Amino acid sequence: MWIHREDRAAAPYASNLLEGGEATAIRNGLLAIPLPGHTLGSVAFLLEECYLFTGDSMAWSREREELQAFRDACWYSWTELRLSLTRLAEYRFEWVLPGHGESVHLSAERMQEHLRALVQRM
């Protein structure tokens, strides 16, 4: 199990710790991307440049048909979450698979458009 050192207290049994703010290759095709905001140690996992497991950092809104973040569930910093999601635009992915909320599959180009729009709304 992987967790960021900053969130270690949430999973003291985790066998592997991430450190700092740089993405880390967990194995071939799997990247851990720190996304401080929801918590200081929030992390997204990108599998095969396609599937982004976002935890609680963002999800799809079926009602509004757009990506959303949850200000009222942002325990660390809304400003940092906005910066994290801005940096997330450096990566290519087609799926958003959140811990809470709706998943979505879009082309990588459309996903980038929705991600940029989310950051602007924040």
pLDDT per residue over 55-79, tens digit each?
Answer: 999 999 999 999 999 999 999 999 9
Region of residue 95 (left: phi > 0; alpha: psi -120 to 50; beta: else): beta
Check residue 115 and give its pLDDT: 98
pTM value? 0.94
Q: Is 103 helix (H, G, I), strand (E, B) or coil?
A: coil
- Average model confidence (pLDDT) for the chain? 97
Q: How far, in Å, CA of 106 to CA of 17, rounded?
A: 31
Q: Which domains does the chain have, with CATH numbers?
A: 21-121 (3.60.15.10)
Q: How far, in Å, CA of 11 to CA of 47, rounded?
A: 22
Look-up of token digits 């635009």: 89
Q: How far, in Å, CA of 74 to CA of 69, rounded?
A: 8
Per the structure block, which two tokens stand in for 80? 């940092």
